[in-house]
Amino acid sequence: MEVMSLIIQISYFVTAVLFIMGLKRMSHPTTARSGIVWAGWGMVLATVVTFLHPEIAGNYLLMIIAIVAGGAIAWWTGKRVAMTDMPQMIAIYNGMGGGAAGAIAAVELVKGGDHHTFIVFLAVLGALIGTVSFSGSCVAWAKLQGVMKKVIRFPGQQKVNLIVFGLMVLLGLIITFYPHLGAFWILLFFLLALAFGYMMAVPIGGADMPVIISLFNAFTGLAVAFEGFVLNNPALIIAGTVVGSAGTLLTQLMARAMNRPISNVLFSSFGEGGGPAMEVTGTMKGMEPMDAAVQMCYASRVVIVPGYGLAVAQAQHKVWELAELLEERGVEVKFAIHPVAGRMPGHMNVLLAEAGVPYDKIFDLEEINNEFGSTDVSLVIGANDVVNPVAKTDPNSPIYGMPILNVDESRNVLVIKRGQGAGFSGIENALFFLDNTHMVYGDAQKVTAALIQHVKTL
């Protein structure tokens, strides 16, 4: 038995090392794929060695059924999901992790036992955070998938949220010090946690979705770590801590990119301006693909700014083909990425990497913002809020103060857009009405294909 216990502990240690090394390699695009493989092998090792755990005896059939069912669903969804649907898949998978942590806590709390008060407290804390992450992530998925289209806000919403949060915490403390109250109070605690996660997420507008996804990711990691302490499982503790800390750091970076304090994120005061926004004046000026191609061909520097519309049109390969043709004509081409472009952190980076765009041509906001003033043409494809100059000029705008890509400072701006509608946050984009901006209307892939043909003939 001691030998078996030693094998299990060593295996969990190796699993933790693989998780940490995998996450480290995921931090750079060139090693991200291998990082996922490393972490995947760590998960395989942790799963296999769990069959040897003495407390698992007799439950093998349930484990195998769960592994086969979960693996089959993950394989099927992973193979068929489109790049445009990746954010909602990440959101729901993250929610499943939080839900699993909550389920582990529920079993431990209902089972009772002679756990130390501190262990019960960790179980309650993990249950609270994991359950909130589960229901909140489900709402995030529903919003991204288009199942839930309304942003629900009402007077006194923050007070209601605070009351639910207070009741949830109070009941959690009571369960901690009186763990044998019964299943009814534990069920009520979980219902309050589910309600609070839902109420956290429903007021959030689309423009802030990357922040909430990374926040719930941090919640899930912390919940898993707490339940690792409850189960005395080093692999869960280390994996949860690493994911929780990475998610917390990412949330801070996303909040900074949106110019929103973490407290604002936590209490859901998203997208609320201080008064009526300034009216956008002027008219949008259209341009044919032929004229846009001429403008880019005779430019010295072109900066391409991708957004979610690029993902929807699956135009990343065509855009890179266009960039290569321009470079063959001596045009310097760069790609500018806003931290919250797309529907999740890193969405655009993954999209461009899929198309084969070299990493040294992709620049973050801080790296390229000072170059727009000397850029001949900025080509905006499907991006909206992250290039909206009202973030710098209108204090009443919901996005006021958010760092944006200074596309408006370019000598010429070309915007590929399907129509004249507002962006995901519902805010009119003043960039489209500037004198130096021209709209090239149409599907991003079809317009880019037309640009390619015209560039070839020039």
* pLDDT for 124: 92
Widest Cα–Cα separation across the chain: 80
Q: Verify whether residue 408 is a known catalytic residue.
A: no
Residue 176 in this model has a pLDDT that exceeds 50: yes
Sheet holding 437-441, edge to edge: 362-364, 332-337, 301-306, 377-381, 412-417, 437-441
* pLDDT for 275: 47
Question: Which of 104-108, 145-149, 321-325 is least confident?
Answer: 145-149
How many Cα atoms sit within 13 Å of 169 on the Cβ side?
Answer: 6
Burial bucket for residue 171 (CB in 10 Å: 0-12, 13-18, 19+): buried
Buried b (16+ CB within 10 A) or exposed e, 26-44: beeeeebeebeebbeebee
Mean pLDDT estimate for the chain: 84
Residue 103 in this model has a pLDDT that exceeds 70: yes
Residue 16 in this model has a pLDDT that exceeds 90: no
* pLDDT for 310: 86
Among 385, 408, 435, 443, the one annotated catalytic: 385
Residue with tokens 């006194």: 156
Residue 320 in this model has a pLDDT that exceeds 90: yes
Residue 424 in this model has a pLDDT that exceeds 70: no
The percent of residues above 90 in pLDDT, for the chain, comes to 33
Distance from CA of residue 159 to its chain's centroid?
A: 27
Render pLDDT for 390-413 as a digit per residue (tens, 0 to 9): 888 878 777 778 888 999 999 999
3-state class of 32 per DSSP?
A: helix
Render pLDDT for 58-100 as a digit per residue (tens, 0 to 9): 678 888 898 899 889 988 888 888 766 777 888 888 899 999 9
Q: How confident is the model at residue 113 (pLDDT cuts 50, 70, 90)?
A: low
Residue 246 in this model has a pLDDT that exceeds 50: yes
Pairwise CA distance, residues 167 & 50, whole Å: 37
* pLDDT for 420: 60
* pLDDT for 33: 84
Q: Once rounded to an integer, what is the mean pLDDT over residues 44-57?
A: 81
* pLDDT for 271: 44
For 266, other C-beta atoms within 10 Å of its C-beta total 13
Q: What are the distances in angstroms from CA 352 to CA 49, 310, 334, 337? A: 38, 10, 12, 10
* pLDDT for 270: 42
Q: Once rounded to an integer, what is the mean pLDDT over residues 46-52?
A: 85
Hey, which residues does 438 pair with through a beta bridge? 414
Q: Once rounded to an integer, what is the mean pLDDT over residues 44-56?
A: 83
* pLDDT for 281: 63
Render pLDDT for 120-162 as a digit per residue (tens, 0 to 9): 899 999 999 999 999 999 988 888 887 876 667 677 777 888 8
* pLDDT for 278: 58
Render pLDDT for 247-303 as a digit per residue (tens, 0 to 9): 888 888 777 777 767 666 555 444 444 445 556 666 889 999 999 999 999 999 999
Q: Give residue 20's identity as a one-letter amino acid code.
A: I
Main-chain dihedrals φ then ψ at residue 337, nearest 5 degrees: -120, 125
Q: How confident is the model at residue 172 (pLDDT cuts 50, 70, 90)?
A: very high
* pLDDT for 196: 93
Say if CB 137 and CB 216 are below 8 A apart.
yes
Q: Once rounded to an integer, what is the mean pLDDT over residues 33-46?
A: 90
